[in-house]
Each structure stands twice: as C-alpha cells, then as structure tokens.
Structure 1
C-alpha cells in the first residue's frame, strides 16, 4: 500500500475509511475488496494508481509493494510512502501451459534446488537492490 500521509492501517476493515485506488488485473486484491465490501476505484496501470495518490485524489493505493516502489523510483516521487504493515503476504505461482507439461518434472526439480540453496531469494533480493525497491 502507498499513501501520501502516515496513518495507521491495520487491516482490510481499517482501509474502508479511506479513498482507495487499485489496479485491474491484480486478482487477489479485487477478490479481497469484494470479500470485505471495500470500495476501490480501479485503474489500468500501477503508474496511474500512484499518480492519483500523488495528486491527492485518493488516499491509499492498494497495490503490491514491489510494483509501487518501482513506480516511485521511476517517477522519482519523494512524498509517497509505503505502508509499514502489509495487508497480506502471498506466495506467488507461475503457471505452465498444458502443451509444456512434459517439462514440469525437470522444472520442479530445478526450482526446488534453487529454493533450498537460497538462489530464488538471492535473485529477488538482487532485483530489489539493483532497482532501489527497498
């Protein structure tokens, strides 16, 4: 979540009190907004969401942290803040088209090795550091 001002955001109920902007295509956020009866204005891109916060038209952009930080860095915004407390942490998954099902065992084996060795975490951390997304 990104905001222009600091205020306590504790959970999905708390954000109901604010003007929210979200990005189309982020299914877990749309689902959570519907499940908690939160009103959210949906836009097409993360840049649009962050710019609407910058302009003061909305109070909170409910978007993945890494996407929001990428926009903040690209646009060189200094008065947008990320929330100290994430609303949710999720494992992300990649899907493979059924025409590629033959590679699933080898791919799974390699991904498990990368996870155990810490390589996946290292790749993510390198990406975050190289792009100033802390």
Structure 2
C-alpha cells in the first residue's frame, strides 16, 4: 500500500512540483493551502510524512507543526520544512515545534525525495 504524504504550501505551483515528484516515487499525496486548511484535512487517516512551507497566510508552518504535534494521531508524524527561510533562528523555532528536517527552496527533487525516504514512517 502506498504511503501518504501531506504537502502544505500556499503556492499551488510548488504543491504541484512536489506532488509530481512524490507521486512519481509511488506516494499518495494530500495537499493543504496553508496550515489551517491542512489541519482541517488531518481527520485521523494515516499520514506518513508532512512537508510544510514556513511562510503562509492564515497559519504559518511553525504554528501548524506545533498544532499537529498536539494531535495524538500525528504526534510522531515526521515533518520536513520546505522553505525559502534559511535564518538559523527560524530553523530553531521549526525544530522546537517538531520539524525533523529543513530543505531550502529552490530545491532539487532528488534531495527532497532522499529526505522523504529517510524520514517517512514505516
């Protein structure tokens, strides 16, 4: 059975690029437009990994990750932050919220897929 990955980004084109790379590698994909939209889609189904942007309207990625970690079903779901943010203070905030990896845009799909393969829940 395919593993499910959630992509959270306010850029439709970025969600599409990441989605194509993930689907090409055999993953199922759920998309969220921002943290709020993504939280509404976490309804108890198994999600093996979350890839989230940091800077988004309505709810930013760090607040989103912190909220996800409060939901028992997703407490241990690994999160990769995919962002233009390279500020070490932001990275620390992301890690404190529960992010496991930080990939800076623009990114190479193979680098992202390598991080996904290392972190995706069995």
TM-score by shorter chain over 0.5: no
Q: Tell me the TM-score normalized by structure 2.
A: 0.42
Q: Could you tell me the TM-score, scaled by structure 1's length?
A: 0.39
Q: Which structure is larger by alpha-carbon Rg, 1 or 2?
A: 1
Which structure's residues are more often strand, by fraction? 2
| Higher percent of residues as helix | 1
**Larger RCO (CA within 8 A; separation ≥ 6):** 1
